[in-house]
Amino acid sequence: MRRIAGKLAEGVRRSIPLSVYPLIIPREVVGVFYHAVSDERLAHIQHLYPPEPVARFEAALQYIQKNFTVVTSDAVEANRLHGQPLPARALHLSFDDGFAECDTVARPLLLKYKLPCTFFITSDWVDNTKMFYRNKASLCIERLAELEQDAAKMVFMSLNNALDIRLTSNQDFEVWIKALQRSDEPVIDMAFKMLGLDLKDYLETRKPYLTSDQIRQLHADGFEIGAHTRSHSKLALLSPDEAEAEIVESARFLQAITGLEKVHFSFPYSGSGLDRGFLAGVRERHPFLGLFFDTRDLRKDEPFIVNRIWAEKAAYRQAGAKTNIPALLHAAYRAELYSAVHTKSVEEPA
């Protein structure tokens, strides 16, 4: 009987029109965020999540412009912390990480449709002096796929001997390297060199991340610049002092580039596992910090934390659909209905 009731409840959730959901689950603002928009094959991202195709991103902007009023982080803060009203059907649009395509691809389209956007940037990557360990892993997977079979076997043999592991195929390699964590970065660097990759050359020639000049231009264009930690670490795994330094120093770095008085912040991965009292204390000790933006869809949190929907979720890239925004919204609202009686985990972005 319980199983039948569950199926009936799911059927009801799926049959609710999107226009009705905000009446059932009211939110002052809906947040949507991306990482990278490009029609190019971005080898440093491709094996983590596929970049959003340009046409789909533009279709998303058209849908958003037609159905929502896009608001700034400052406007959301004025609403959350000072009671200032937001327009009906307010939506906050943002990008995380700080990939170069934020400037070269997303910026012209956002300017075309005159939509505000916040770019949350990982400060260690600015000016392409360092590379995120997961971007290195993606490059390794891409390079391995280009090798002849005999050359790939030589790489497997070298890694197996050096690390006492058992890799026999490209699939084995991909599963293995994507499971490695930040503490395993020296191992990723070893694989990187064994595959004949040159990190310095890739950073200098490809320039995968935003430069200081590009950030200044985005700011001059009227876009908001936010912080996304120094190193893109999952803050819940760090000590309180380390987590605070990741937040504050990244914000100060971007403040120095832009001259901003207030810097908003978004969590890498998510803010789950972080004590909210600790986060409130960080903001009290550093009043130049604005709102904190998380990745938990439509979940309610502390007034200074705004949740957002991850737009690149592969499960919602429907074949034939111009944009996945309606499907993402349906799923987020359905999850909120479900969470009223159950606890449901949400996929975390890379």
The residues, any chain, with a CB within 8 Å of residue 190's CB and separated by 6 or more, are 159, 162, 163
Higher local confidence (pLDDT), 339 or 198: 198
Could you tell me the end-to-end alpha-carbon distance of the chain, in angstroms, rounded to an integer?
39
pTM of the model: 0.92
Q: What is the mean pLDDT of residues 311-334?
A: 84
Over the stretch 31-55, which tens digit does the pLDDT of each residue have? 999 999 999 999 999 999 889 999 9
Confidence band of 14 (pLDDT split at 50, 70, 90): low
Q: Which of 128, 98, 71, 76 is nearest to 106 (CA)?
A: 98
- Output b/e per residue, 191-225; b: 16+ Cβ within 10 A: bbebbebeeeebbeeeebbbbeebbeebbeeebbb
- The amino acid that residue 114 corresponds to is K
What per-residue confidence (pLDDT) applies to 321? 73
| DSSP 3-state of 95 | strand
| DSSP 3-state of 301 | coil
Q: How far is CA 288 from CA 14, 24, 96, 216, 233, in A?
A: 43, 35, 20, 19, 22
Q: What are the sequence ranges of the domains in the chain?
A: 2-128+209-339, 133-204
The residues, any chain, with a CB within 8 Å of residue 119's CB and separated by 6 or more, are 94, 95, 98, 102, 210, 215, 218, 223, 224, 225, 226
Q: What is the CATH number of domain 2-128+209-339?
A: 3.20.20.370
* 30 φ/ψ angles, rounded to the nearest 5 degrees: -110, 135
